Structure 1
Amino acid sequence: MTVVAWQDSRSTDPWPNRAGRVWVQASDPLLRAGLRSELDSKPGIELVDELVDAEVVVAVAEPALRDVPVTATRRLVLIADKPREVELWTAVERGLAVLVPRAEVTTARLLRAIADARRGRGDVPPEQLGRLLRGLSLLHMETLAPRDLTLSGLSRREADVLRMLADGFDTAQIASKLAYSERTVKNTLHGLLARFGLNNRTHAVAHAIRLGLI
């Protein structure tokens, strides 16, 4: 089957010589045991007993997927045939990186999927990818744009201010160039720092650049 894949060029494996920590999630105990048995002792794999210790979660589609907590520090390999819309979005919320159709599940395929997820690579069949992209477009048009938000999580004003900070402009210069008052610029930055738990302007710029938001 043809798949559409992407790779985040900024993502590199920080532990190239260490096994990836993997948690297996399945509602059927026998299925979970079988998947763990297939992965156990394989090169590059360290099965963990606590979800909090995992770098990659291998999960079978709902209902097991609902038991995986939302987190930005973990990547998800989802095993599913034709996931429903709600399953796709639940998987995205939980860090979806690779979607493996059940018919393609082999030990070698799972090992490749885990390695891809750990390194920040993505692999989603084109049908599901198309549904996700259409959903993102609707989310932007119907929910985010009316609130002056973008898919990055920043408002357009926040993104503009951060870009100008990154270019070395001070508050007065930013206000002048964007036709805002200095108070508006300061309030924008204050709200941004509070929402993301950042310490100062330098931290905000570094955070935005690191996540590719600007």
Structure 2
Amino acid sequence: MGRVRVALRAEDSLSAVGLAGLLRNTHEVELLSADQSGAAVLMFACHRLTAEATALLRRHVAEFGVPVVLVVSRIAETELLTAVQCGVVAVLPRTAVTEQRLVHSIRAAANGGGVMPPNLMGELLKQLQRVQRDVVASRSLDRFGLSLRQLDVLRLLADGLDSGEMAAQLKVSTRTVENIVSDLRNRYQLRNRSHLVAHAVRSGMI
């Protein structure tokens, strides 16, 4: 396998110099100069993924249009999805940076894969699931004419909660929950709650 052409950009010059020194020690990576093009991977280093760092990253991504390896001192769970949306496929904490790990992350990015610490991967999956639920909810509200409260009741019903448990979680009365269930059953002419859940799943409401 040939050398991977890498463009290195950093929020500060010290990070750029340090990472460049490590990458120049390996024969598996070709580190491009500032005026060279044709990178297969962009490596971007910053201390935190602040608004300023994110804007800088987006500019570099627009310039190169390739997968990103992010070297970062610290990344908050809420910043993970932003990083992925910017094209980041590998996250490497500064404290874990070694020549071997840099090369591994670069190779993975170049081959269409990704590398993330297990704790970050778990949190990213949770965030993606939340985004997916929000997308489904938005479609259900538009397509089926449901209210947010009706959608919440359907989801909790599908989770097996009874009226009292749903009422406690939604902070409404049991009567309100039962009225919502009854209205939905009547609207779609369904026999019981199980039939309602089955209909909601099959039709894509939830």
**Is the pair's TM-score, using the shorter chain for normalization, greater than 0.5?**
yes
Farther-moved stretch of structure 1 (109-118 vs 41-50): 41-50
1:21 counterpart residue number:
5
Q: Does 1:111 align with 2:96?
A: no
In structure 2, the gaps of 5 or more residues are 141-206
1:90 counterpart residue number:
82
User: For 2:26, what is the secondary structure of its paired residue?
Assistant: coil
1:79 counterpart residue number:
71
The match for 1:56 among 41, 58, 76 is: 41
**Pairwise CA RMSD:** 2.5
Summarize the alignment of residues 1-214 of structure 1 with structure 2, pairs less than 5 Å apart.
16-17=1-2, 19-40=3-24, 42-48=26-32, 49-50=34-35, 53-61=38-46, 62=49, 63-69=52-58, 70=61, 73-147=65-139
Normalized per residue, which structure has more helix? Answer: 2
In structure 1, the gaps of 5 or more residues are 1-15, 149-214
Q: Distance in 1 between matches of 2:113 and 2:8?
A: 19
Count of residues in Structure 1 that have an aligned counterpart in Structure 2: 132
The offset of 1:37, in angstroms, is: 2.1
1:21-65 Cα deviation digits (max 9, x unpaired):
111121111221221122126212122225863211111243544
Closer/same/farther in 2, CA of residues 93 and 41 from structure 1, 3 Å limit: same
Q: Distance in 1 between matches of 2:25 and 2:118?
A: 32
Q: Distance in 1 between matches of 2:21 and 2:38?
A: 19
Q: Distance in 2 between matches of 1:53 and 1:90?
A: 25
With a CA cutoff of 8 Å and minimum separation of 6, indicate the structure with the bigger relative contact order.
Answer: 1
TM-score, normalization by structure 2: 0.55
The offset of 1:145, in angstroms, is: 4.6
Q: Distance in 2 between matches of 1:98 and 1:111?
A: 11
